[in-house]
């Protein structure tokens, strides 16, 4: 890939759309798991351009959005410990917890710093040896290896003031939970490209094998998404569900073995709470006993207090593909990107934010 424009050529897009329209005979419901795919689909009007036989649903592929209020409250409680420095990626700052946000805590005097990598967080710890630094580990398999690497680096450097609040989520278990619930009928998944770059396409084989649902791993440009829809339609029409890769420039079947090794060295699976879906076994990551001195939940006594959900917000149902942002009574009125009520309106990859920016007209079929 030399230029993004190579994957945004209108003539090629029209060719793929024509092929999809000609091939799609039976109704099919496809879910794009990743918020990055949702943005591409809306930004380029892909949903409206697809034939009436195809319905696209958005899934729980936004890490900030699926982080439960109970976990956000832990991060806010940590930020309020005197002298503590919180290092976090920027999209976590404005997400509301049960009562407030990290942004408000920072305005009230908490030392919350936005970083662009775990290396920045390590540097903050090195430059402030007399203070504790906690990195908020929010993300999927995409970011977990870099955070694991930061823990290994802190150990090697002898940094005693660095720790991680691990709120990571693993994608295969939540897809299994979504399918086991039986609440959403699906014929195919557009599987997340960045996650798959780490896990490999083999991580999704259970979807086709155990549930008879088609899968294609896609990139994030409009031609990537259209190619994945074309491949899904072909599988559905043949009645042969399988896992295919439409993102060969980024994903291999076995994934990134070094990244997986780093994750396995530092983390182990644990139960995790997902917004709207409750606790899902083995869908989170916690630090192994050998690295517990870097586990913020072991280092600090965290008292987040009682948890509550914002009244009227339906982010949990939107994340499961049960409803769309237009079904929410708060959308665009009480809840906007400037004054978000729920996390789906905060993250740039959140469904509500995407609907708000690009519009959701013409998709209800």
Q: 85's torsion region: left (phi>0), alpha (psi -120 to 50) or beta?
A: beta
Q: What is the pLDDT along the chain (365 residues), one digit of tens a residue?
A: 455 667 777 788 899 999 999 999 999 999 999 999 999 999 999 999 999 999 999 999 999 999 999 999 999 999 999 999 999 998 899 999 999 999 999 999 999 999 999 999 999 999 999 999 999 999 999 999 999 999 999 999 999 999 999 999 999 999 999 999 999 999 999 999 999 999 999 999 999 999 999 999 999 999 999 999 999 999 999 999 999 999 999 999 999 999 999 999 999 999 999 999 999 999 999 999 999 999 999 999 999 999 999 999 999 999 999 999 999 999 999 999 999 999 999 988 899 999 999 975 433 33
Q: Is the pTM of this model over 0.85?
A: yes
Note the pLDDT of residue 8: 72
Domains in the chain with CATH codes: 4-60+172-238 (3.40.50.11750), 65-170+255-298 (3.40.50.11740), 315-358 (no CATH)
CA distance 274 to 283: 9
Note the pLDDT of residue 342: 92
């Amino acid at each position: 890939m030399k230029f993004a424009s190579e994957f945004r050529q209108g003539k090629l897009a029209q060719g793929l759309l024509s092929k999809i329209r000609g091939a799609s005979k039976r109704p099919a419901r496809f879910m794009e798991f990743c918020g990055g795919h949702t943005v591409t689909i809306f930004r380029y009007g892909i949903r409206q351009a697809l034939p009436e036989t195809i319905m696209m649903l958005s899934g729980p592929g936004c890490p900030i959005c699926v982080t439960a209020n109970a976990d956000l409250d832990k991060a806010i409680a940590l930020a309020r410990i005197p002298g503590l420095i919180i290092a976090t990626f920027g999209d976590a700052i404005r997400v509301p917890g049960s009562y407030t946000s990290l942004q408000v805590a920072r305005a009230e005097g908490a030392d919350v710093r936005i970083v662009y990598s775990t290396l920045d967080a390590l540097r903050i710890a090195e430059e402030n040896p007399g203070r504790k630094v906690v990195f908020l580990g929010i993300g999927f398999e995409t970011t977990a290896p870099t955070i694991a690497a930061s823990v290994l680096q802190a150990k090697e450097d002898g940094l005693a003031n660095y720790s991680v609040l691990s709120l990571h989520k693993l994608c295969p278990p939540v897809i299994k939970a979504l399918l086991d619930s039986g609440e959403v009928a699906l014929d195919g998944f557009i599987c997340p490209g960045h996650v798959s770059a780490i896990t490999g396409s083999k991580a999704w084989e259970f979807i086709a094998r155990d549930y008879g649902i088609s899968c294609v791993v896609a990139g994030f440009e409009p031609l990537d998404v259209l190619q994945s829809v074309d491949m899904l339609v072909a599988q559905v029409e043949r009645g042969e569900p399988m896992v295919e890769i439409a993102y060969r420039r980024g994903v291999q079947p076995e994934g990134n073995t070094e990244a997986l090794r780093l994750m396995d060295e530092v983390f182990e699976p644990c139960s995790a709470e997902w917004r709207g879906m409750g606790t899902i076994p083995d869908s989170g990551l916690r630090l192994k006993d050998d690295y517990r001195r870097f586990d913020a939940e072991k280092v600090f006594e965290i008292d987040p207090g009682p948890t509550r959900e914002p009244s009227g917000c339906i982010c949990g149902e939107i994340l499961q593909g049960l409803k769309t942002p237009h079904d929410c009574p708060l959308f665009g009125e009480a809840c906007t990107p400037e004054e978000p009520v729920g996390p789906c309106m905060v993250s740039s990859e959140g469904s509500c934010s995407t609907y708000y920016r690009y519009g959701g007209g013409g998709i209800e079929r």
